[in-house]
Amino acid sequence: MSAAALLGVALLGGLVGLVVPPLARHFVTPPVRRGGPVWLCPPLAAVVFVGLAVVLRDDPALPVLLAVAVVGLVLAVVDLACLRLPDPLVAAAGTLALGGLTGAALLAGTPARLVGALVGGVLAGAAHVLLALLPRSRLGFGDVKLAAVLGLPLGWLGRDALLTGLLLAHLLHGVLVLGLLATRRVRPNTLLPLGPALLAGTWLAALLT
């Protein structure tokens, strides 16, 4: 991909990042004051978009993953603000992923990749259902549903991406929790959002595999 194309992708990501905070505020309950590091959203969205564009290049699923990333950024902001992953947003991400990947598979003539995506969604969802049912588990079913949705693009990218994405999400979350505990920013019983880690793990898996 040319430098000009990457610049265009970065600008697109930055523009998307500008609308993420106002969209997220519609789903935050109870309402919170405007503020916080919302200025991070445009550069973060630009980095996410460029990373996917560089790695996926001519993959027919690139537009699909970019669309899912947009909803994912909104979900991350909401989860960080109020520990919620609203069903309408998760459903929107799932619809974009399933519908978009189906179209990409049909256009590219690669039905096997669609099967891989569906298997990835089922496996990711099932694994997180089991985690949620463990004694003293703090995994919410919003996290389970988001994991199933993210399993679709991970499954599209292949078995290694699926395994890497699922493992990285919990590794990132675990490291964050340990760091916050060590610095006494949280207590052992403090609830922390998992959604951003699931999304970050998916993005990193796409880059690394």
The 3-state DSSP class for residue 14 equals helix
Distance CA 24, CA 63 (A): 22
pLDDT of residue 201: 97
pLDDT of residue 36: 54
Q: How much of the chain exceeds pLDDT 90, in percent?
A: 85
Copy the structure tokens of residue 23. Answer: 């969209």
Q: Which residues of the chain have pLDDT under 70?
A: 31-37
pLDDT of residue 102: 98
pLDDT of residue 34: 52
pLDDT of residue 170: 96
Distance CA 200, CA 170 (A): 10
